[in-house]
Structure 1
Amino acid sequence: MKAPGGRAPGDSPLDGEALRMIRQRSLFMARRLGYPVDVSLPLLTDRGVLRDKDEVVDRMLALDAVIACASGMPPEIASDWVSEIGITGSLSPSEARVLEGRAEDVPAGLLDRMEALWALGWASSLFRALDYARICGPELAMIFGELDDARDVRALRKRSRLRRHEEVLSACDLARCLHRGVEIAARKRMSLPGKVQPNVILERRKALEWLLGEEEWDEVFVGA
């Protein structure tokens, strides 16, 4: 039986030829989006990992809590909500410091986490598209701004369904290629490529790298 959104038990990771085909599509799409490309960028390694759906939902809820703090919610209220829905243990150390009020200031960059949340929401089939020519859409607030209690969270878990492994891996590979394009532009002092700010690419890439890896959230490396 095939696990929803993942790969069938015992399936092997994608081979080199499949990964090269994914890369060719990524380079084609990067060029169409206006980014310079690096054909020597190492291929994404398929480690055969795709997180469990409940772990992904917990990560989305943790992101939702810190985004709320960055939007003005008092940390103690966000902390109470996290405790009520039972995901305190899913907070990363940096997120826990924010919700415990131990961060001197709520980092402004936390608002960028909306793009990471959008990427994970897309991977969970909550959003139809992960369009790298656009920022996250109003659907983000429509779904995550209405989670009042544990009953709403249970409904979200039931609604979420992870996409196929190869689909997620392809989106991550494209994010890597776009990230490299941003770096090339910066190095050559070119105008910023694409139609979105670089933080959109970086946040989405971090979320997808986390989804396909085994690192803790605060430890995910997004260097090209």
Structure 2
Amino acid sequence: MSVTAPDPQRVREASIEQLHRLRLPLPPPDFPLVWEPGDQVELRPGGEIEARAACLNVVLARAHGMPPELAVQWLAEARLIDRLTPPEWQFVADGVGDERSFALHVEALFALSWLLGIAMDLDPLLRCAADGLMERLPNLVQGESFDAWRRRTLAAPRSAVAAAQQLDLYYCLDRSILEAERAGLPLPGQADSNTTGQRRWALEWAVVFAGPYHGAAPGWEQVDLST
């Protein structure tokens, strides 16, 4: 359900305060806001986020050695083949693509799990604990089906307001950590630009704004992380 987005300036002030605490470079004063006052915000439907998480889970499994036949079979039984992007399908079915790049999606999957309420905290100081995350996702080794996973987890998606606040933080973090890496500055924790970029990717995809300056919600491969 769409609601009025929180005051973007106050949310930005909270994000900047977090950067202060982490001793990261601050964005310039004209760094754009993610949304404008009066915009509406909503999360994509929970089922759509669950489907995206399940697809990324299979992509990660393929990056770690799951046979393509089993991966395709699981997706077919879950009726999720058409939810993969073309690059994901080429990688899952035929092994085409950079395995290391697809493996980085663990952090995007972590952010999706946070949105679904099955991961508790997107701490910017820590990388995703992959073993703990996998326990909350479909158990592909044991053949757990998509429907069985949904019944087991009983996802409780975050509010759109909380998700928007997290998106603004990661929008700022993504820029600040990239700047710190370029300048050779020490990072405050385990997370690096791959971590923040992947989490931001998931949040940018899942949090949908409506207002004079927003177009249609982007597809997964159309998310723009260039700013």
TM-score interval, smaller chain: 0.7 to 0.9
The answer to whether the Cα contact below 8 Å between 1:13 and 1:48 also exists between their aligned partners in 2 is: yes
In the aligned structure 2, how far is the partner of 1:20 from the partner of 1:76? 50
Q: State the Cα RMSD in Å.
A: 1.9
Alignment of 1:48-63 (within 5 A): 48-63=41-56
The residue that corresponds to 1:215 in the other structure is: 218
The residue that corresponds to 1:179 in the other structure is: 174
In the aligned structure 1, how far is the partner of 2:15 from the partner of 2:133? 25
**Cα gap change, 1:180/1:174 in structure 2, threshold over 3 Å: closer, same or farther?**
same
Task: Please give the secondary structure, in 1, of the residue aligned with 2:199.
Answer: helix
The residue that corresponds to 1:193 in the other structure is: 187
The alpha-carbon deviation at position 182 of structure 1 amounts to 2.2
In the aligned structure 1, how far is the partner of 2:164 from the partner of 2:146? 31
Q: Which of 9, 25, 31 does residue 20 from structure 1 map onto? A: 9
The residue that corresponds to 1:125 in the other structure is: 117
TM-score (norm 1): 0.86
In the aligned structure 2, how far is the partner of 1:140 from the partner of 1:27? 29
In the aligned structure 1, how far is the partner of 2:146 from the partner of 2:124? 32
In the aligned structure 2, how far is the partner of 1:194 from the partner of 1:92? 34
Is residue 89 from structure 1 mapped to residue 82 from structure 2 by the alignment? yes
Alignment of 1:58-77 (within 5 A): 58-77=51-70
Count of equivalent residues: 210
In the aligned structure 2, how far is the partner of 1:151 from the partner of 1:38? 43
Is residue 115 from structure 1 mapped to residue 115 from structure 2 by the alignment? no
Q: Which of 150, 154, 163 does residue 158 from structure 2 map onto? A: 163
The residue that corresponds to 1:3 in the other structure is: none
The answer to whether the Cα contact below 8 Å between 1:85 and 1:153 also exists between their aligned partners in 2 is: no
Unaligned stretches of 5+ residues in structure 2: 209-216
Q: Which of 72, 97, 103 does residue 79 from structure 1 map onto? A: 72
In the aligned structure 2, how far is the partner of 1:88 from the partner of 1:193? 39
Given residue 10 of structure 2, which amino acid in structure 1 is its aligned partner?
M
Given residue 191 of structure 1, which amino acid in structure 2 is its aligned partner?
L
| Structure showing the higher strand proportion among its residues | 2
**Cα gap change, 1:150/1:56 in structure 2, threshold over 3 Å: closer, same or farther?**
closer
The residue that corresponds to 1:149 in the other structure is: 145
Q: Which of 21, 27, 37 does residue 32 from structure 1 map onto? A: 21
Given residue 212 of structure 1, which amino acid in structure 2 is its aligned partner?
V
The alpha-carbon deviation at position 223 of structure 1 amounts to 1.6
The residue that corresponds to 2:201 in the other structure is: 206
TM-score (norm 2): 0.85
Task: Deviation per CA, 1:8-66: give whole Å up to 9, x if none.
Answer: xxx4344xxx1111101101112212311114211111552420110000000010010
In the aligned structure 2, how far is the partner of 1:183 from the partner of 1:42? 17
Given residue 183 of structure 1, which amino acid in structure 2 is its aligned partner?
L
In the aligned structure 2, how far is the partner of 1:56 from the partner of 1:155? 15
Identity %: 27
Is residue 98 from structure 1 mapped to residue 91 from structure 2 by the alignment? yes
